[in-house]
Structure 1
Amino acid sequence: MFTLEEIQSAHQKIKSGSDFPQYIQDLKTIGVKIYETFVRDGHTEYFGKDGNRISSLPKYDPIEIAENCQYTKFREILRFHQEGKSDYFTFCKEVAEAGIAKWMVDVDKLNCIYFDSNNTLIYEEEIPE
């Protein structure tokens, strides 16, 4: 059973998108199976085996999610962030403007799926090990 403190400790190591793969490995080590991050306020819900579930507090004041997803703009924002060229809040603000409402990470399958506000799958990618 993992704790919010363990998750926060792993998260503090992230300085940019390029640190994301190691973060996923750290979550896997403590028992997180899946998590969903909600762009509107930055809160995340973490799920583990045996029904273990923890939700974080919002990370920032609510931001508006664009109604229409701009796929090309989103992909540019994502690439820029993964190259370590933006911080977390900037990334969240920019993907909200591009119409992304949340992302879900499957720690075991090493994939990340992005959704719009209608819960439509917009983009799925593998997470490098």
Structure 2
Amino acid sequence: MSLYDEGHTIAGWTGFGIATVGGAVVGLGVCTSSPAAAAGGLAVVAVSVLVTWALHLSGWGKPPGVRPRGQWGMRVRDARAREGHPGCVGCRLAGRGRRTVAASAAAAPSLPEVLPGEPVPVSPVD
């Protein structure tokens, strides 16, 4: 049995349901030549994206990958949602999962400060 549990989340199924209704309204609008219905269906699809994103950020959507069997259930919230999931675009858009400024400054190598008019120090090349 696989250790992966992809898409079995409240956020995923709720977004899918809303997007399905939106897609049906778009199809109805196309079949009846109603631009208002087609636009309304597209608006419902856009709402499905926002609802899914909000549910994901509140812990009802889980990141892809291997999870312990105890976290496979749909009623289990993701405790790591506050910090952001690594590689998750939705978390990055919400400002989660980024390194702090202090951590990124510590990781960046410091360069020697050169004042205008001074020669730039060059390290020898091996």
Task: Settle same-fold status: TM greater than 0.5.
Answer: no
Question: Between Structure 1 and Structure 2, whose CA radius of gyration is higher?
Answer: 2
TM-score, normalising length: structure 1:
0.24
Q: Which protein is richer in strand relative to its size? A: 1
